[in-house]
Homo-oligomer: A and B are copies of this chain.
């Protein structure tokens, strides 16, 4: 398709990719400064950034806003139909999870959330916003919307722990049937900001609607993942 020449985007990509593949740049490691790299490859920063952008969209590297470029760690396998919660899932894959709370409150339900939860117009919902990390890296920004009828007083809990477990222990509510959407798109401003990602970084939006053991819609999660951090694997249980 295109012949190789030095000092081109393609050549820079190949060189960096080779370094990464051979582990010379460790997972999670920071790349040298853009100016250093552009000197190294005898090119301009514009051209270099073009190459970095390609590698980013391939999911080999990622950037943190104003902090630089890093080698992407391996992806997390995620089955949205699975019963296990975030911390358990991440630990099962030999990684270290963590969660931070951004906000939690009762609010008027946005129209799309109303529809997904099957609530009448102008209903109130509980909104919980959090970010999650894997091995310290910010990978996921989530907005949870709960039907308040089923979870009185839930906002008084420690909301950095698993909601799933809280549902079971305090409300005797278990996850049943799940439906979800997956939308490849750029991270919207809120998500990008909380993930310390550049505005418009590639992301994956996963919207889950969860029912309980009795088939009632109990909550809806709107998840924004960094696109290089996850691989969705769906196996329908027998």
Contacts and interface: CB of A to CB of B under 8 A. Distances in A.
A227 B177 CA distance: 27
A199 interface: yes
B181 A58 contact: no
A227 B184 contact: yes
A81 B4 CA distance: 42
A177 B234 CA distance: 11
Interface stretch (A32-40, A115-123, A129-137, A185-193): A185-193
A179 B236 contact: yes
A180 interface: yes
Given A57-B202, A200-B58, A235 B179 contact: yes
B181 A184 contact: no
A1 interface: yes
A199 B8 CA distance: 14
A188 to B, nearest CB: 9
A163 interface: no
Contacts of A182: 182, 231-234
B200 A54 contact: yes
Interface residues of A, number: 38
Given A58-B200, A199-B1, A236 B178 contact: yes
Given A46-B46, A54-B186, A186-B58, A233 B181 contact: yes
A113 to B, nearest CB: 17
A59 B193 CA distance: 20
A204 interface: yes
A1 B53 CA distance: 22
A80 interface: yes
Contacts of A46: 46
Contacts of A230: 184
Interface in A219-238: 227-228, 230-236, 238
Nearest to A188: B58
